[in-house]
Structure 1
C-alpha cells in the first residue's frame, strides 16, 4: 500500500464514493495490521471515529466543521437579528463567509480565528454593520489582503493576532496625512506577527480613528531591546494613541516620550538638513520618511537646541546628574533645596531621600515637577518604579513636594 500512497499525502483532499475528505494521518493503527489513512470527512455525519482508536489519538478533527454550497439559494435574512457570530475552527472560507453574510444583515461581531482564511475579495453590500472582526491565527493573511476589508464603514475593532503579517501600509495617504482606509477603526491587535520595521508603526499614525494598539511578540518589539524604550518610540510615532498594549497612555508619559524622541533623533535631523531657523529647516526626504512626526514635534515643543544634542557619555556619572531645585509646598518657609540626582534614579528612591531630609514618612510624600520650558504646567510623578528620565525631568527643573 505504501508504494501507491504519495509521500505528501497528509493534507490532501480525496473523494471516496462521492464523499469528500481531508487526509490527516497515514501509518499503522495497532493492533490492526497494515497501513491506514486517517481522514476527516466534510460531512460530519459520516464516520464514527474522531481521529482516535482504542484510546490512542492519531490526529484531531476540527471542532466544528462547516461546509456550504454557494450554489444554494441566497440565505437572505436567514438570521435577521443576529449580532454576534463565532465561527472559529470551522474550516469556513472567506468566500463562504461573504455568501452567508447575506443572511446576517445586522451582524456586529464576527469571529473567524483558526480557519486558514485568505481574504480574497471585498465585502459588497454585506458586513456593512460589522464593528468587530477577529482574524486571529489565519496564517495565510498578509498586509496586502487587509485592503479588501479596509472600507467596512463601521469596523471599530480588528484582531489580527498570530498571523504572518510582516508589514502594514496605506498607500492612499502621504506623509502627515490620514488614510481613508479603516475610517472607524479604534482598536487594533497585531500581536504575534512578523513586523520588524518601524515604517509599519509610522503607517499606523495615518489611521484617523486609532486609539488602542496591541503589538507584542513581533521582531520589532522582542529580543534584547529595552521594552520601555520601544513603548516610548511607539507612543511618539502614533500621535492619537491612548492605550498601548492594554496600558493607558497618560499625558505626562506622552510628553516624555515625544521629548525623548525629539532629542534622540536631533543630531540625525540636523545632519539631514534640519535647522532651528524655520526658514532654513529643510530636512531631506529620507529623514522625513523615517520620522514623519518629527517636524510636528518640533512645532509642539520647539526645535532641539544644540545643548540638548551633545553626545552623552553614559559611563561618567557626572554626565548623568541633574541639578534640581526642591520646593516643599506644605512648608513655604522651608529653604529651597538644590540637589544633584542621577537621571536614572527612581521616584521611589527620590522619595526615600526626601523622607530622610524632611523627616516625613515615604508613604505620605507626593511628588510632581515643573519646568521652565512648560510654564504654568505641573507634571505628577505618580509611578514610583519609573526613573526621573522617564518623565523627561531635566537640569533646572523644580521638584514639588507635598504631604
Structure 2
C-alpha cells in the first residue's frame, strides 16, 4: 500500500503500517541529519490490506525505517480518525519530503524533533573521532560555545566552523583546540560585547572571521598603542562585521592594528551614517587601514589608495595644526586626543610629507556639503563602453576621480588619462593633468563630459 500525504508543509508523513513494517529494524539509530527544522504530518487510507498486521511491531516508536530510498524515523503509532487501522507517523530525514504542518482535523499527532544536537556535559575521550574532518556546519542547532570546546578535540584537523544562529552570547578561550581553524562564522549570535573577541584572538591560523549581525558596538585591541600592531588575530586576513552597532570611527582605527588584515566588509553600521557621500566614506576607511586591499568586496587599487591618503592628510591638516602639529619636527607634538582620532596621520606625513600651508588655506570642513556636479563619463577609444552619468563633488581631486573610475569601469592597473569637454568650449578638450587638484580648479560645470583613456 503506498504512502499517503496530507497537504501542507513539514518534514514528516504518515504511512501505512504494511508500507513501513519491512523497513523497521533495517537501520541503526542515527543516520543523516536534517538541515532545517521539520514539522508534523500524519495520514492514512482507512482501508486495511489483506494480511496487514493488526498491531505495530514491538518497539516501533523511535525506530528507523526505509521507504523506497528515503530514510525516516517513526514518531507516531496509532489511529488517525476518521480512518481505520494502525498508522505510523514518520519523520523524514529529508525535510522536503513531508508536507504537513502537524495538525489534522484539529488534532496534532506528533512533532518532528528540532535541529538540536545533544552534546556531552563533560569532556569525553574522542581520540581519532573525525580525525580528517575539515568543514563542520552547526548552524541553528542551539549548540553552545562550551559544547563546541568539549567536542573540539575530536576535530584535530578542522579548518572551517560555522555556528550561525545559535544564541551564543559567551565565548571561552579555546586552549589546545581549534588550532587548525582557518574560518569561523559566528553570525546571528548576540555577542554584544566586542571584548568577547579577545577570547578567540589567539587562534594561530584563523584567516577569516565572520561576525555579521552579532550586536557588537565596538572593537578594541588594548595590547597595542597608536600606530602599533596587535598580537591578537595574527593570521586574520578577512573580516566581516556587517549589520552591527559600531558607531565610532575609533573601531575602524583599531582595525589598522591587525597585522594581516587584507579584506573588510562593514556595511550597515551606524558609523557609516556620519558621512553621506559614499565615495568620501570609502576614502576615509581606506586611509585609516593601511594594509587593506579589498573593501566591501571592491578591490582597492594603488591609485585609489594614494588619492585617499593624500586627501586624508590634507582634510585633517588644520585639525593637526590646531592640536599641536608643526612643520618643524622638533615642535611637532600633536595631542593624544588627535592621535586617538587619527592614529595614521603621523605615518601619512612621513610617507608624503606634512601638508603644505598652501594646501590648507581655505580648506572646507569635511562636514560641509560640497556642490555636486552631474558629469557624463565616456571612453572615446572604447565604443563598447556605454557612457555613465555620475554626481561628483566639485572638491573631489583628480586622483580620487581616477580611483572611482578604476572600480566603476573595471579597468586593470593601467595609467588613466582624463580630460573633459564643455559645451562652452566646443571642439576643445581640457586635460586634467594634476592629480592633486580638485575638479573645481579646472572650472568643470554641470553637464560636462569627462573623457577617459588608458
Do both proteins adopt the same fold according to a TM-score greater than 0.5, normalized to the shorter chain?
Answer: yes
1:110 is the counterpart of 2:161 = yes
Deviation at 1:370, TM superposition (A): 5.2
1:53 equivalent in structure 2: 103
Looking at structure 2, the residues matched to 315 and 132 of structure 1 have their Cα atoms a distance apart, in angstroms, of 41
Conserved 8 A contact 2:192-2:217: no
Three-state SS of the structure 2 residue aligned to 1:188 is strand
Conserved 8 A contact 1:51-1:61: no
Provide the aligned length of Structure 1 versus Structure 2: 311
Q: Given the two structures, how large is their TM-score scaled by the length of structure 2?
A: 0.61
Q: 1:357 aligns with which of 427, 432, 441?
A: 427
Conserved 8 A contact 2:141-2:166: yes
1:303 is the counterpart of 2:373 = no
Looking at structure 1, the residues matched to 264 and 232 of structure 2 have their Cα atoms a distance apart, in angstroms, of 17
Deviations 1:164-221 (A, max 9, x none): 0000000011111110000000000000000000110111000000000000100011
1:149 equivalent in structure 2: 200
Deviation at 1:393, TM superposition (A): 9.9
Conserved 8 A contact 1:132-1:157: yes
Looking at structure 1, the residues matched to 195 and 113 of structure 2 have their Cα atoms a distance apart, in angstroms, of 28
Deviation at 1:142, TM superposition (A): 2.4
Against the structure 1 CA distance between its residues 185 and 45, is the aligned structure 2 distance closer, same or farther, given a 3 Å change threshold?
farther
Deviation at 1:76, TM superposition (A): 2.5
1:331 equivalent in structure 2: none
Looking at structure 2, the residues matched to 315 and 142 of structure 1 have their Cα atoms a distance apart, in angstroms, of 35
1:275 is the counterpart of 2:326 = yes
1:265 is the counterpart of 2:319 = no
Looking at structure 2, the residues matched to 291 and 248 of structure 1 have their Cα atoms a distance apart, in angstroms, of 24
Higher gyration radius (CA):
2
2:184 equivalent in structure 1: 133
Deviation at 1:261, TM superposition (A): 0.8
Conserved 8 A contact 2:207-2:235: yes
Looking at structure 2, the residues matched to 224 and 54 of structure 1 have their Cα atoms a distance apart, in angstroms, of 56
1:246 is the counterpart of 2:297 = yes
Conserved 8 A contact 1:368-1:400: no
Runs of 4+ in 1 over 4 A off after TM superposition: 44-52, 60-63, 312-317, 341-356, 367-371, 392-395, 399-403
1:210 is the counterpart of 2:261 = yes
Against the structure 1 CA distance between its residues 82 and 179, is the aligned structure 2 distance closer, same or farther, given a 3 Å change threshold?
same
Deviation at 1:307, TM superposition (A): 1.4
Deviations 1:319-339 (A, max 9, x none): x9xxxxxxxxxxxxxxxxxxx
Deviation at 1:285, TM superposition (A): 1.1
Conserved 8 A contact 2:264-2:294: yes
Three-state SS of the structure 2 residue aligned to 1:357 is coil
Deviations 1:340-377 (A, max 9, x none): x9555977994444996359xxxxx9x88456x8xxxx
Q: What's the C-alpha RMSD, in Å, of the aligned pairs?
A: 3.7
Looking at structure 1, the residues matched to 144 and 370 of structure 2 have their Cα atoms a distance apart, in angstroms, of 61
Looking at structure 1, the residues matched to 251 and 272 of structure 2 have their Cα atoms a distance apart, in angstroms, of 12
Against the structure 1 CA distance between its residues 256 and 72, is the aligned structure 2 distance closer, same or farther, given a 3 Å change threshold?
closer
Three-state SS of the structure 2 residue aligned to 1:259 is helix
Structure 1: runs of 5 or more not aligned: 1-43, 321-340, 360-364, 374-387
Deviation at 1:114, TM superposition (A): 0.4
Higher relative contact order (CA 8 A, sep 6+): 2
Deviations 1:132-153 (A, max 9, x none): 0000000134211111100000
Three-state SS of the structure 1 residue aligned to 2:306 is helix
Conserved 8 A contact 2:419-2:451: no
Against the structure 1 CA distance between its residues 393 and 248, is the aligned structure 2 distance closer, same or farther, given a 3 Å change threshold?
farther
Which aligned pairs between 1:283-294 and structure 2 lie closer than 5 A? Answer: 283-294=334-345
2:151 equivalent in structure 1: 100
Which aligned pairs between 1:20-99 and structure 2 lie closer than 5 A? Answer: 52-54=102-104, 64-71=115-122, 73-99=124-150
2:244 equivalent in structure 1: 193
1:178 is the counterpart of 2:229 = yes
